[in-house]
Structure 1
Amino acid sequence: MIHTIKVYLSGMVLAMCSGGLISCTKQQVQADTPATVNMQESSMKGAGATLLSPLSLLTDQDFQKGFNVLHPVTGVVQGPLQYNSGLGTPVWNLAQWYSASSIYGATPVVLGSGSSQFANPNKAVTLGPVTSADGSLIFAMNGQSEFNNVYRGATDPFPALLADQKIADPDGWLGTATPFIGSLANVQFNIDALLQYHTRNQQAGYNAAIHAIQFSCTFLIQNLRPGNPGYGKSMYFLVMLFDDRYPLPGKSISTDLFTGKLIYDVGLAPFSATGLTVGQWKTVSGDILPLIKDGLNEAWNRGILTESQSFNDYKISLFTMGWECPGLNIGTMQIKNLSLVAN
């Protein structure tokens, strides 16, 4: 019998508490049980194997094939969002958890740059050729529209606009060829980000702990060693590109209130001395492997993921990127040159 674990990190959900803003993840996990894996797909031969060559952990990094749009409530795939369907079937999901509307079915407007913009009053997604001035991807959210200009309460849900891609086994695009963290020398992450626009729209009732907008890159670090007692269990590793409360987002470590998973957010400080500024491109680039290992050590020190304390049992199994908007903010972020390469 094959026990398949399906993890949907399609929507980061921010849980609020008196101590501040805590990121947690909307996900569905069928079971934390061992799985039978077709190891013939794997380029790794044993726990101590060495990766033979640089390996890209992401595919369609320029979003040329578009997205499978997920329903804001159920997460069911509604259909594709593409600027050119002839480029292939989408490999990215587009999550819009708790939004008041779905972007699916929006009529695209072709921009002067050659890109296509899909928009409704709550959000906009712009896709186009890699040569476009509006490429590779632009995400925009309008919190005023989402909340009808009324602040949410501390326990109320709030919308997100997120791109996610499953990487590792059992159902990721790279499958069992995804290397274990313990076999790697480095993991080079790169993203160029342009904060095109942001306004807080601060009004009476604003609370920074529950109304901050964030744009993050999130990696699911998961035990995927078949037969291991911790198989399927995971933690979240974040690179916070933008948090409107801080000029330069720093490290933040917390525990998901709903799942007990560790959330290890390194912020932007390990990659830059300054935060994002409206209208200016910033390249965020570096080796994230030592930071991921720091996160796993933090989890183990806190009594989390103790079924295995070996890097050789964990993989980067999923990548998620985008906005979480619990306030009345309006934000627009453009990204390009996204890459995640294991060596």
Structure 2
Amino acid sequence: MKKFFLSLLFPVSITALISCSRSADLTANPELVKGVKTAGTVSATGLPASVNLLTDTGFQKGFNVLHPSTGALQGPLQYTSSNGSPVWNLAQWYSAASIYAATPTILSSGSYRYANNYKAVTVGPAVSADRSLVFAINGQSEFNNTYRGATDPFPVLLADLKIADPDGWLGTATPFIGAMSSVQFDIDALLQYHARNQQAGYNSAIHAIQFSCTFLIQNLRQGNPGYGKSMYFLVMLYDDRYPLPGKSVSTDLFTGKLIYDVGLAPFTGSGLTAGQWKHVGGDLLPLIKDGLNEAWNRGLLTESQNYNDYKISLFTMGWECPGLNIGTMQVKNLSLIAN
């Protein structure tokens, strides 16, 4: 089922994949420089020895909402505009209706909940009990209680952030994978609710709900014959078919890109349990290198087999819902530190 996800989620190109984020130059925008976390030392390249590849990880600036079918920018979704303009996109591909027009409900925590019949997004102050983000999706409503066919599109609810050049928030300051000694990923996740709503016609191969963290590993070496080519690296926080999601490797049928999903098992001995917070963390660098080696062994990305030509250029997180499931996930303490 995952092989359909990324091609349907991003049906046009890498440009569509990371559309509507603004170009960023660290040297020209001091606000972006504030987003670079340093360890107090500088490497031989002159770059900070420790760089947070993500910005606004508490979603205090909200989202740029993208249209479900065209991907066009509709406008901001925020609990306040005083924190500045959004840097994250909110993708809702193939949903029956956009959440952009929803009137927010102000919760007792101080957070704002935007909701319609198909999805809900909760954002709010950094001290809110509902921080940093709550995503809910309702497959029963999206599909009118009728299962989709194997090749039919399905709705997603995703936060995505462009990181690297040519127009990511961190731009050319994003280090190449070959220059890193580690990539520490951390997130706390709470599965607030899940119901499969299984009926006649259910097929676990095409109707399973998933909540993943996806990293685009991309050749960004200017002048290299493989410039722009990429693969998908996934950390699967939740897959309703498995108590503990394991490794899954496939090639996307539509784009031909490698999908290297390491699951959740490399980081913990148990999966998410509804109602319980779960910390997920670890060094992604050796796993990303394994993914690149897998791509090369399969004859993909062979224009360059050098880690020094690849960067983590995009981060995407959220639900894909090809079945009648209803799911709610809260996340906080998100970080991605390159050393």
Do Structure 1 and Structure 2 share a fold, with TM-score over 0.5? yes
Q: Which runs of 5+ in 2 are unaligned?
A: 17-24, 37-43
Asked if 1:248 is matched to 2:244, the reply is yes
Alignment match, 1:170: 166
Render the CA deviation track for 1:297-336: whole Å, top value 9, x for unaligned. 0000000000000000000000000000000000000000
Cα displacement (A) at 1:23: 5.1
Q: Which runs of 5+ in 1 are unaligned?
A: 1-12, 17-21, 32-37
Q: Distance in 2 between matches of 1:158 and 1:175?
A: 32
Q: Distance in 2 between matches of 1:72 and 1:29?
A: 17
Alignment match, 2:298: 302
Contact 1:237 1:263 in 2 (8 A): yes
Asked if 1:203 is matched to 2:203, the reply is no
Contact 1:237 1:265 in 2 (8 A): yes
Q: Call closer, same or farther: CA 1:97–1:183 in 2, change over 3 Å.
A: same
Q: Distance in 1 between matches of 2:280 and 2:142?
A: 30
1:327 counterpart (315, 323, 337): 323
Matches within 5 A, 1:126-145: 126-145=122-141
Contact 1:56 1:341 in 2 (8 A): yes
Instruction: State the aligned residue count.
Output: 317
Q: Distance in 2 between matches of 1:39 and 1:110?
A: 35
The residue type equivalent to 1:140 in the other structure is: A
The residue type equivalent to 1:232 in the other structure is: G
Contact 2:63 2:90 in 1 (8 A): yes
Alignment match, 1:220: 216
How well do the aligned residues superpose, as a CA RMSD in angstroms? Answer: 2.1
Contact 1:49 1:183 in 2 (8 A): no
Render the CA deviation track for 1:239-296: whole Å, top value 9, x for unaligned. 0000000000000000010111000000000001000000000000110000000000
Matches within 5 A, 1:79-118: 79-118=75-114
The residue type equivalent to 1:60 in the other structure is: D
Sequence identity (%):
76
Contact 1:164 1:321 in 2 (8 A): yes
Q: Distance in 2 between matches of 1:191 and 1:267?
A: 14
Q: Give the secondary-structure state (helix, strand or coil) at the position aligned to 1:291.
A: helix
Q: Distance in 2 between matches of 1:197 and 1:95?
A: 21
Alignment match, 2:22: none
Alignment match, 2:269: 273
Q: Give the secondary-structure state (helix, strand or coil) at the position aligned to 2:204.
A: coil
Asked if 1:56 is matched to 2:86, the reply is no
TM-score by length of 2: 0.90
Q: Distance in 2 between matches of 1:197 and 1:329?
A: 10
Q: Call closer, same or farther: CA 1:15–1:309 in 2, change over 3 Å.
A: closer
TM-score by length of 1: 0.89
Q: Give the secondary-structure state (helix, strand or coil) at the position aligned to 1:290.
A: helix
